[in-house]
Every structure is written in C-alpha cells, then in structure tokens.
Amino acid sequence: MMSFTCPDCQRPDSLHITHKLELPPDGRSDEISLQIVACDDCEFRGMAVYEESRRGASDSWHHDGRMVAAADVERLTNDISQCPQPGSSRCDCEVHETYGKTNEYGRWVFRYGSF
C-alpha cells in the first residue's frame, strides 16, 4: 500500500484513501483509479490518481496527488458515491462515463484535465 505525506501538515504516511473509482484502461495505462485521500491528522482532503502500466520491459506505476479545491473534492466524493460499483472498471453508470472519458487517441481525458 502506497502512502503520501500530507501536503498540509507535512506528516508522512498520514493520508489514506476514503473513496476510489476504478476506471477502464486506456491507451497508456492498464489500471486507472481516481481516489479521494484524507489526512488522519488534519482536515486535508485531496484527489489522487493511480495509474499502472504492465506494458513494455518493466512494470511502472504513477501515483499522483493533486491539490484541488475543497468544493471539487466534495463534488467528486458525491459523484463517486452515486456509482453502484466504484470498484469495477466495467461499470457503465453515468459517473463512470463522465470520469472515464477517452479522447480520439484513446487517452484518458481526465488525466490532464481539471474540474
């Protein structure tokens, strides 16, 4: 299990995942997961993106935290709560459709996007 240092209180390993949405693979990653993280020690909540690729010579993964506005974290948390199967990348609900969009090159749109 990976852990993050909280960007607010700087305490290492204090963040944990409270919500996550598994998304379908795209042209770059085999696993994509959108996560809401919260700090055990302070009020911080944020968004993180986990991606894993099993293509090529070696496995690779990225786990990026993003600073997003509290209102956006709230919205994303609410959205994930609407999904009947957040742990399944094959779910075809509206939430999955919104956050799992790919562009004309087959790349996950939300990767570089913002709210």
How far is it, in rounded angstroms, from Cα 14 to Cα 7?
10
CA angle 79, 82, 83 (to 5 degrees): 100
Find out whether 9 and 42 touch, Cβ atoms under 8 Å. Answer: yes
Task: Give residues 4-23 in contact with Zn ion (rule: CB under 5 A).
Answer: 6, 8-9
Q: Is 47 in the site for Zn ion (CB under 5 A)?
A: no
| Other Cβ atoms within 10 Å of 35 Cβ, number | 21
Query: Of 69, 55, 1, 46, nearest to 25 (Cα)?
Result: 55
Instruction: Candidates 24-32, 64-72, 76-84, 106-114: pick the segment binding Zn ion (CB under 5 A).
Output: 76-84
Q: Is 39 in the site for Zn ion (CB under 5 A)?
A: yes
For Zn ion, the binding residue among 25, 32, 38, 44 (CB under 5 A) is 44
Question: With respect to Zn ion, which residue has the nearer C-beta, 6 or 48?
Answer: 6
Question: With respect to Zn ion, which residue has the nearer C-beta, 34 or 91?
Answer: 91
Query: Of 22, 29, 18, 19, nearest to 56 (Cα)?
Result: 29
For Zn ion, the binding residue among 48, 91, 100, 108 (CB under 5 A) is 91
For Zn ion, the binding residue among 93, 102, 107, 111 (CB under 5 A) is 93
Residues lying near Zn ion in the complex (CB under 5 A) are found at 6, 8-9, 39, 41-42, 44, 83, 91, 93, 95-96
